[in-house]
Amino acid sequence: MNLRFLSWTIVYVLNLIIPVLFAVSVVSGWGWLGVVLAVFTYWILGVYVCKASKSITQALLVGGFFVGFSQFSPLLHYCAGSIALNLEARSWLHTPTDSPIDMRYHIGGSSGAFLATAITGGILIGVALFLGFLFYGLYVFARLIPDPVNAKKVVIDPDGF
């Protein structure tokens, strides 16, 4: 459990780099309370998953590695953040601020920031789980294919089973 917990924490923190830099440009004031609460909530849920399910944890870690690596070209993170900002701007939780930038995409309230962070994190964690289960499925499938070099010779009896 301790290795899974430590691995989850490392992968999770490394996946926060681009989303936090993205949040710096759109969140102000009490909005940071919502960001911190959403980040902490997802971390706690990950800790719970680490305790509850080894297979989901493995998928989350493998997929999280690839999602984290994709931060070098953060198209996925940008799209997830843009979707979250658009949904937050259209929700009743949106709190306009006295910002010189476009007010639709500036978050000053903690509830709106929580919503935007939760949506962004949900998209990124969902992609990580999808990739993790995909790669795990490919790994299992590859193990089912017999090795032609070390395979035993099969003798087929034409008279019966």
3-class SS of residue 56: helix
31 vs 159: CA distance, rounded Å? 77
pLDDT tens per residue, range 71-87: 898 889 989 988 888 88
pLDDT over 70 percentage in the chain: 78
10 vs 29: CA distance, rounded Å? 28
CB-based contact 81:19 (threshold 8 Å): yes
pLDDT tens per residue, range 32-59: 898 999 999 999 999 999 888 888 888 8
How would you write 95-147 as a 3-class SS string? CCCCCCCCHHHCECCHHHHHHHHHHHHHHHHHHHHHHHHHHHHHHHHHHHCCC
**What's the whole-model pTM score?**
0.78
* Confidence bin at 98 (pLDDT 50/70/90): low
Closest CA to 6 of 61, 55, 45: 61
* Confidence bin at 157 (pLDDT 50/70/90): low
